[in-house]
């Protein structure tokens, strides 16, 4: 599956957006407008003006819908969610080259809110996975104490953890220690 630079940026943004949602007893990564501003800057979300509480509420709603896509194993229902997000965003595909990037497609309408921008661009990135029959690459970490979202871009679709150096390594070490303890008797 060919993933262009702008699609990869949108995938990174949607994964990070979904991962800002509070887990049980966790903090909301988008607790206030300043956090949304940080998210926008971190992901170089272009054409975003001053942010407001309304923007924050709208982005949280988009985040919840994207979380549903990551949780939904059925392409038809995931496609319905993605279609709703994209349609509500007033998608207007257009070619652009800006900020040192070569030609790429923006799916959000000029002057769109940050929520509509994320819904359109990130929704299209997820749509490509559904169209390619690769929706199963949209996953949640299998570590028992972690449910972070990620996109498995490995060749053989074998990635199980959001980060092999933290979640994956922690579980492998625990399994190794359990085997050693059992062998010692």
- Its pTM stands at 0.87
How does 32-52 read in b/e, with b if 16+ C-beta sit within 10 Å? ebebbbebbeebebeebeebe
Q: Output Rg (C-alpha) for the chain, integer angstroms.
A: 18
Contact indicator for 143, 161 with CB cutoff of 8 Å: yes
CA atoms of 111 and 89, how far apart (whole Å): 11
Per-residue pLDDT reduced to its tens digit, 130-154: 999 999 999 999 888 888 999 999 9
CA atoms of 34 and 37, how far apart (whole Å): 5
Task: Give the pLDDT of residue 92.
Answer: 84
Is the pLDDT at 38 greater than 90? The verdict is: yes
Task: Give the pLDDT of residue 171.
Answer: 64
Task: Give the pLDDT of residue 85.
Answer: 96
Contact indicator for 86, 123 with CB cutoff of 8 Å: yes
CA atoms of 110 and 122, how far apart (whole Å): 16
CA atoms of 54 and 17, how far apart (whole Å): 17
């Amino acid at each position: 599956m060919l993933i262009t630079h702008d699609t990869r940026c949108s995938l990174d943004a949607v994964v990070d957006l979904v991962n800002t949602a509070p887990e049980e007893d966790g903090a909301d990564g988008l607790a206030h407008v300043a956090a949304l501003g940080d998210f926008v800057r971190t992901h170089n979300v272009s054409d975003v003006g001053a942010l407001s509480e309304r923007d924050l509420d709208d982005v949280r709603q988009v985040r919840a819908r994207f979380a549903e896509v990551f949780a939904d194993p059925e392409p038809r229902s995931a496609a319905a969610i993605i279609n709703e997000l994209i349609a509500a965003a007033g998608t207007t595909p257009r070619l652009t080259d800006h900020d040192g990037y070569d030609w790429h497609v923006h799916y959000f309408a000029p002057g769109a809110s940050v929520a509509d921008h994320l819904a359109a661009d990130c929704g299209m990135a997820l749509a490509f996975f559904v169209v390619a029959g690769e929706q199963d690459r949209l996953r949640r970490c299998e570590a028992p104490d972690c449910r972070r979202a990620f996109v498995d871009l490995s060749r053989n679709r074998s990635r199980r953890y959001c980060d092999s150096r933290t979640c994956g390594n922690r579980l492998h070490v625990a399994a190794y220690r359990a085997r050693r303890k059992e062998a010692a008797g």
